[in-house]
């Protein structure tokens, strides 16, 4: 089948350059962090996260056995962060322990999670939902028992993988816990799993996966999809069998965000799936479901008597499961004893009125444990120093007043900081009485905030350094232009940046259109990134590279330049048309309100109309190719549909699939991920929404293309059934119009395209 309009229907990846991901100076961030933590200050600013290359000396405690010692982690790469915390790939560069901890070896890579989000909004939202659920601080961050209990559960589930999956590698191993005094949070050292998320598979019959429980892998085009769904179901079943139903939430398929919690291993011979995440980030509240699957989980929780859900487990059921498999769990008795002890301490550290009820009012020991748990949270939030924390642990009127102040917005926190921390009082005194101290503090705060600005790309290295030296200028900018989105901030601060971006965009199009070597390099860069991201195997990558000179690919790359040019056409025309209409209304004495409404209405209309200026440009381009090449048959389906704004993007992936299926899958996979990753939480790489978008842009059009002949016949019959009865109720003039519409819209596509499609393609 001919190439036709493929460059348009694939919605190609936009050019890079000024649109590339933000690149910042890690060394500059370290310098700013040093300034923010100036030891001259009584109160310093804690880092939000660490930079690559940072060395962390820590005290560790093994999960099993629980051996304590010293270690040193060197951060190799920051991997990102969510509600549950921030994740790094680290090298264990020093290990000093009295006895070996199985799995921990010097100079090996490990996954390290520190249970505090790098985003202030994520931290606030996580802590707020947790407080609403349990009326206390996020325990996995600040409570030793919560940290240890979670790791012990992960270790037990890994061992149970031998029973459920026949292999321990089905669950990521956990090695040790530690306290990070810089971030005021507990952390964990776990196995580094080499692997990838699922491949987005070209499937000509996605209906086969609907019977995912029973369909053989060889009879479906989506074996990885089916395999992951079965694996996640088995993980949920396993944790329910072990008495950990709230841990199972991490692997409930219907939440649409749990799929990235398991990876396909590339570091084992079997290449099986591996569960990699056992730390929930958000408490599940009955009045705040945050995914489709949460409705079912809330109902199931209420049946168990759990009004709120996070990580509560049934230890009796766990012990029964362990007892039923003595050969598998014969050596884990000490770990289970610690789990029971730490889980009890963890649960008793929270007010948790849904479980404790009114017990704290008459149970003195429980009340004492709750007070101690709340004080842990005050220390982690830097509200109190250790001396005042000791007073609070005694309870009484001092604790009650301090705790109640937390209910007062903004002012309550300010009062508690000044009351609970001697250093904070001295810090405030220095700000008001010592000009030099004030200047140092101002510079430290500016440096702390500029780290986030620089990482986000709001300021480049030169401007970051300038603002760091002029904190007054920084704070003026922060509370004015700094409130704007980054793009507008750049534009108002330095309009030449916007102009340079426009120039770079059109230069890219010019170079792309005229320089074959430039096009090839761009394309090969995309393919290389696809291999690095796991979207292409090495064999697929090498095959695509080998066909770069094929006429089919050459035509694709040339057509992409035309596509880039048509991207802004609809928006430009809509704004110009709206402006003309608004000007006309004003010239006739209309009000500014009427002119504004007309402008907005026209712009909106252009966005929803099925045929737009941009799609017309694309359609005429395809018609031009047909005439120039004198190749009618290969473009007859693409040409009419390319004029339609939305259908044109869904109708033609089949053309690429028949000739270069690996390349077709890659292009649509890459576009799908580009689109989906804009969406918070559900747009994560490897989540279900990513697969749905891929199906929408790739697999479903394949099915439609295969059934196009039947659709054309159905389209004709629908038109005849709709219009012919109306002929008996209209005038002669109306009859003629309806007949023309019937023939042109419904009958012609069937009569013209069907014989062409029915005829076998000549090779």
Between CA 533 and CA 230 the distance in angstroms is 24
- Number of Cβ atoms within 10 Å of the Cβ of 24: 18
- Judging by beta carbons within 10 Å of its beta carbon (0-12, 13-18, 19+), is residue 287 exposed, middle or buried? exposed
Helix or strand or coil: residue 407?
coil
Nearest to 100 by CA among 64, 74, 72, 73: 64
**Radius of gyration (Cα) for the chain, nearest Å?**
31
In angstroms, how far is CA 379 from the centroid of its own chain?
A: 31
- Mean pLDDT (the chain) is 86
Between CA 8 and CA 55 the distance in angstroms is 49
CB of 132 closer than 8 Å to CB of 101: no
Residue 226 has pLDDT above 50, yes or no: yes
Structure tokens at 44: 């310093």
> Residue 366 contacts by C-beta under 8 Å, 6 or more apart in sequence?
348, 356, 359, 360
CB of 157 closer than 8 Å to CB of 239: yes
Between CA 409 and CA 447 the distance in angstroms is 27
In angstroms, how far is CA 728 from the centroid of its own chain?
A: 57
Between CA 571 and CA 577 the distance in angstroms is 10
CB of 284 closer than 8 Å to CB of 298: yes
* Mean pLDDT along residues 225-247: 96
Taking CA atoms, 716 is separated from 57, 735, 744, 760, in Å, by 74, 18, 10, 22
Residue 4 has pLDDT above 50, yes or no: no
Q: What is the dihedral of CA 358, 359, 360, 362, to 10 degrees?
A: 100
Helix or strand or coil: residue 356?
helix
CB of 191 closer than 8 Å to CB of 174: yes
Helix or strand or coil: residue 317?
helix
> Residue 280 contacts by C-beta under 8 Å, 6 or more apart in sequence?
84, 246, 247, 249, 250, 310, 311
Q: Between residues 617 and 18, which one has the greater pLDDT?
A: 617
Structure tokens at 606: 């252009």
Between CA 750 and CA 711 the distance in angstroms is 9
pLDDT in tens, 409-449: 889 999 999 999 999 999 999 999 999 999 999 999 999 99
Residue 660 has pLDDT above 90, yes or no: no
In angstroms, how far is CA 289 from the centroid of its own chain?
A: 18
Nearest to 643 by CA among 708, 699, 694, 570: 570
Task: Name the residue with tokens 């004030």.
Answer: 438
CB of 378 closer than 8 Å to CB of 143: no
Structure tokens at 149: 């209990």
- For residue 762, what pLDDT band results from cuts at 50, 70 and 90? very low
pLDDT in tens, 598-631: 888 888 888 777 778 877 887 787 788 778 877 7
CB of 111 closer than 8 Å to CB of 89: yes
- For residue 19, what pLDDT band results from cuts at 50, 70 and 90? very low
718: Cα within 13 Å, side-chain hemisphere: 10
The separation between the first and the last C-alpha atoms of the chain, rounded to the nearest angstrom, is 9
pLDDT in tens, 473-510: 999 999 998 988 888 888 888 888 778 877 887 788 78
- Number of Cβ atoms within 10 Å of the Cβ of 423: 14
pLDDT in tens, 703-715: 766 666 677 777 7
Between CA 166 and CA 156 the distance in angstroms is 14
Helix or strand or coil: residue 365?
helix
Tell me which CATH homologous superfamily contains domain 47-194: Phosphorylase Kinase; domain 1 (3.30.200.20)
pLDDT in tens, 334-356: 999 999 999 999 999 999 999 99
Residue 652 has pLDDT above 80, yes or no: no
State what percent of residues in the chain have pLDDT above 70.
Answer: 87
Q: Quote the DSSP letter at residue 427.
A: H
Q: Between residues 712 and 134, which one has the greater pLDDT?
A: 134
Q: Between residues 550 and 583, which one has the greater pLDDT?
A: 583
Between CA 366 and CA 355 the distance in angstroms is 12
Which range of 121-135, 526-540, 652-666, 716-730 scores highest in mean pLDDT? It is 121-135
Residue 522 has pLDDT above 90, yes or no: no
State what percent of residues in the chain have pLDDT above 90.
Answer: 56
pTM for this one? 0.83
* Mean pLDDT along residues 649-664: 59
Between CA 91 and CA 81 the distance in angstroms is 19
Q: Quote the DSSP letter at residue 208.
A: G
Residue 1 has pLDDT above 50, yes or no: no
Quick one: pLDDT at residue 246?
A: 95
Structure tokens at 686: 């490897």
Helix or strand or coil: residue 206?
helix
* Mean pLDDT along residues 201-222: 90
* DSSP letter for each residue of 32-64: HHHHHT-TTSSS-PPPSSPPTT-EEEEEEEESS
Domain map (residue ranges) of the chain: 47-194, 359-381+383-420
* DSSP letter for each residue of 172-190: --EEEEEEETTTTEEEEEE
Residue 14 has pLDDT above 50, yes or no: no
Quick one: pLDDT at residue 100?
A: 94
Q: Between residues 335 and 763, which one has the greater pLDDT?
A: 335
Q: Between residues 140 and 618, which one has the greater pLDDT?
A: 140
* DSSP letter for each residue of 101-156: -TT--TT-EEEEEESS-SSHHHHHHHHHHHHHHHSS--HHHH-HHHHHHHHHHHHH
In angstroms, how far is CA 617 from the centroid of its own chain?
A: 35
Question: Any idea which of 225-234, 454-463, 469-478, 566-575 has the lowest mean pLDDT?
Answer: 566-575
């Amino acid at each position: 089948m001919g190439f036709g309009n493929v460059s348009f229907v694939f919605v190609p990846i936009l050019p890079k350059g000024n649109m590339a991901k933000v690149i910042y100076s890690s060394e500059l961030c370290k310098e700013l962090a040093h300034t923010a933590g100036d030891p001259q200050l009584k109160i310093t600013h804690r880092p939000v996260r660490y930079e690559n290359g940072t060395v962390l000396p820590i005290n560790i405690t093994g999960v099993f056995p629980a051996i304590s010692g010293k270690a040193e982690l060197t951060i190799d790469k920051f991997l990102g962060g969510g509600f549950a915390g921030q994740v790094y790939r680290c090298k264990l560069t020093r290990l000093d322990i009295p006895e070996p901890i199985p799995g921990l070896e010097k100079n090996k890579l490990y996954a390290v999670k520190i249970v505090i989000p790098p985003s202030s909004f994520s931290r606030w939202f996580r802590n707020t939902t947790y407080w609403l659920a349990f009326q206390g601080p996020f325990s996995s961050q600040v409570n030793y028992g919560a940290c240890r209990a979670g790791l012990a559960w992960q270790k037990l589930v890994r061992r149970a993988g031998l029973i459920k999956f026949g292999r321990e590698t089905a669950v990521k191993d956990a090695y040790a816990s530690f306290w990070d005094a810089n971030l005021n949070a507990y952390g964990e050292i776990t196995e580094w799993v080499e692997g990838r998320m699922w491949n987005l598979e070209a499937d000509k019959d996605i209906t086969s996966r609907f019977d995912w429980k029973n369909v053989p892998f060889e009879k479906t085009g989506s074996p990885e999809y089916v395999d992951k769904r079965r694996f996640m179901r088995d993980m949920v079943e396993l944790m329910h069998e072990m008495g950990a139903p709230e841990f199972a939430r991490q692997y409930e398929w219907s939440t649409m965000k749990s799929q990235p919690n398991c990876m396909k291993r590339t570091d084992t011979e079997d290449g099986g799936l591996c569960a990699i995440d056992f730390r929930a980030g958000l408490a599940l509240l009955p009045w705040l479901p945050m995914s489709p699957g949460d409705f079912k989980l809330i109902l199931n929780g209420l049946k168990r008597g759990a009004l709120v859900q996070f990580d509560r487990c049934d230890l009796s059921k766990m012990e029964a499961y362990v007892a039923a498999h003595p050969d598998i769990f014969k050596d884990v008795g000490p770990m289970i004893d610690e789990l029971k002890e730490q889980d009890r301490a963890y649960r008793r550290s929270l007010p948790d009125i849904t479980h404790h009820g009114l017990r704290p009012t008459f149970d003195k020991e429980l009340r004492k444990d709750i007070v101690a748990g709340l004080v842990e949270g005050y220390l982690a939030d830097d509200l109190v120093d250790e001396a005042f924390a000791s007073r609070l642990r005694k309870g009484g009127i001092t604790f009650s007043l301090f705790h109640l102040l937390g209910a007062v917005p903004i002012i309550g926190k300010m009062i508690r900081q000044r009351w609970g921390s001697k250093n904070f009082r001295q810090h405030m005194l220095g700000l008001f009485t010592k000009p030099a101290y004030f200047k140092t503090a101002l510079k430290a705060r500016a440096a702390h905030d500029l780290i986030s600005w620089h990482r986000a790309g709001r300021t480049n290295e030169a401007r970051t350094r300038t603002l760091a030296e002029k904190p007054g200028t920084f704070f003026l900018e922060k509370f004015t232009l700094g409130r704007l989105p980054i793009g507008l901030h750049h534009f108002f601060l330095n309009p030449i940046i916007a102009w340079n971006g426009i120039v770079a965009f059109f230069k890219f199009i010019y170079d792309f259109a005229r320089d074959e070597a430039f096009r090839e390099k761009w394309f090969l860069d995309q393919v290389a990134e696809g291999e690095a991201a796991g979207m292409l195997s090495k064999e697929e990558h090498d095959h695509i590279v080998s066909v770069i000179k094929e006429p089919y690919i050459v035509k694709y790359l040339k057509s992409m330049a035309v596509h880039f040019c048509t991207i802004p056409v609809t928006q430009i025309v809509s704004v110009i048309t709206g402006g003309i209409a608004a000007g006309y209304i004003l010239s006739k004495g209309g009000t500014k309100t009427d002119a504004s409404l007309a402008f907005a209405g026209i712009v909106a209309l252009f966005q929803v109309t099925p045929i737009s200026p941009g799609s017309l440009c694309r359609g005429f381009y395809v018609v031009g190719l047909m005439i120039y090449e004198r190749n009618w048959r290969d473009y007859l389906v693409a040409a009419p549909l390319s004029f339609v704004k939305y259908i044109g993007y869904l109708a033609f992936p089949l053309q690429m699939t028949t000739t270069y299926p690996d390349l077709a899958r890659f292009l649509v996979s890459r576009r799908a991920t580009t689109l989906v990753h804009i969406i918070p939480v559900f747009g994560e790489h490897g989540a279900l929404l990513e697969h749905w978008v891929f199906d929408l842009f790739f697999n479903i059009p394949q099915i439609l293309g295969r059934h196009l002949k039947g659709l054309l016949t159905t389209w004709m019959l629908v038109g005849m059934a709709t219009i012919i009865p109306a002929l008996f109720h209209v005038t002669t003039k109306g009859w003629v119009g309806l007949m023309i519409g019937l023939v042109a819209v419904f009958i012609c596509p069937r009569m013209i395209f069907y014989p062409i499609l029915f005829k076998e393609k000549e090779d």
